[in-house]
């Protein structure tokens, strides 16, 4: 199990990260992640080691609702696959978007669930939250809120959502057990996750796990596919289904990233699973 320590250091364990035992300073990592994603928000035209923007979302076959999401959100889209490829959300559903970034997925979801439904996007990067709020106002979306917070300690009551979506975020967080405990807590019984995240095929070396660019680019914190399923089972999820597998980093502008992603078999993956009914 991943172990968080009171001094803010996280030890990656052999259970979820086999063949490597590395200490990560979570505060330093979060500062770097915030810097990277503030830049994705404020300078979307820049080249990042991961693909971004509307062309990328269209290549992932995003649903037709994407067309109505303002450019100011979609230009900073930084997802790794398409969580809606696992199924559309239903009208009236209450949706939580973990690491909502500039708001693309939340604003697609807000159209799917309609006025009877509600979407809450959580993110820790203020520039991303400001962009998402601006895009929601431009769209006139009144059923969506963007809230500052951290996925490992969600500012939400127990059992308050029908669906948790997320795209390219859990792979950035060392303490996966805290993430899935929180998801389990805020879902209603019978609720589901529909998430896109990076998984790897080959274990990452200790050196790779210490590489901050590989962390902020979603690769160093990614789990092996089999470890992902084990993690979900350990947190009580059932009917686990994986969908799309996307060669996300083949789209990177950086040769070194393409090479490392290939070496570790890093791919955008989609996963759906349910919290059991009592
Ligand atoms: C790869 S971007 C994806 C954004 C969005 N989901 C999208 O598809 O465009 C990752 C986002 O997760 C946020 N994030 C990373 N770690 C977080 C954490 N522990 N708590 C809250 N937000 C986090 C970052 O601020 C960033 O906006």
Ligand 1 is surrounded, with C-beta below 6 A, by 33, 37, 77-79, 99-101, 104-105, 122-125, 128, 150-152, 167-169, 172-173
Mean pLDDT of the chain: 92
Asked if residue 187 is part of any domain, the answer here is: yes
Which residue among 39, 60, 169 has the greatest number of ligand 1 atoms within 8 angstroms of its CB, and so is best to mutate? 169
Tokens of 34: 């915030």
The CA 278 to ligand 1 mean position distance, Å, reads: 32
CA terminus-to-terminus distance, the chain: 26
- Residue 140 belongs to domain with CATH number: 3.40.50.150
Asked if residue 144 is part of any domain, the answer here is: yes
The DSSP 8-state label assigned to residue 247 in this structure reads -
**Confidence at residue 17, expressed as pLDDT on a 0 to 100 scale:** 61
Q: What is the chain's Cα-based Rg? A: 17
CB 109 within 8 A of CB 136: no
Number of structural domains in the chain: 1
State the average pLDDT over residues 170-178.
Answer: 93
pTM of the shown model: 0.94
Which residue among 74, 83, 119, 124 has the greatest number of ligand 1 atoms within 8 angstroms of its CB, and so is best to mutate? 124
> Which residue range forms the structural domain that includes residue 188?
9-274
Asked if residue 4 is part of any domain, the answer here is: no
**Confidence at residue 1, expressed as pLDDT on a 0 to 100 scale:** 43
CA dihedral 127, 129, 135, 140 (to 10 degrees): -150
């Amino acid at each position: 199990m991943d172990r968080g320590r009171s001094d803010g250091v996280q030890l990656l364990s052999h259970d979820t990260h086999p063949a490597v035992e590395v200490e990560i300073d979570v505060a330093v990592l979060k500062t770097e992640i915030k810097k990277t994603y503030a830049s994705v928000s404020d300078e979307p035209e820049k080249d990042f080691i991961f693909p971004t923007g509307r062309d990328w979302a269209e290549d992932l076959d995003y649903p037709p609702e994407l067309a109505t999401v303002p450019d100011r959100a979609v230009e900073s889209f930084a997802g790794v696959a398409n969580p809606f490829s696992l199924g559309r959300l239903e009208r009236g559903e209450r949706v939580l978007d973990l690491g909502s970034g500039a708001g693309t997925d939340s604003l697609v979801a807000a159209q799917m669930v309609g006025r009877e439904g509600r979407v809450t996007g959580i993110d820790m990067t203020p520039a991303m939250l400001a962009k998402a709020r601006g895009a929601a106002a431009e769209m006139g979306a009144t059923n969506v809120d963007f809230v500052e917070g951290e996925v490992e300690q969600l500012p939400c009551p127990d059992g308050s959502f029908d669906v948790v979506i997320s795209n390219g975020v859990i792979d950035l967080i060392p303490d996966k057990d805290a993430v899935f405990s929180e998801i389990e807590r805020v879902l209603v019984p019978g609720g589901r996750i529909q998430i896109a995240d990076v998984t790897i095929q080959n274990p990452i070396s200790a050196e790779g796990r210490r590489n901050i660019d590989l962390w902020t680019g979603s690769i160093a914190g990614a789990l092996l596919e089999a470890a992902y399923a084990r993690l979900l089972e350990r947190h009580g999820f059932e009917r686990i289904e994986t969908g799309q597998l996307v060669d996300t980093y083949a789209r990177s502008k950086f040769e070194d990233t393409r090479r490392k992603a290939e070496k570790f078999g890093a791919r955008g993956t989609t996963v759906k699973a349910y919290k059991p009914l009592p």
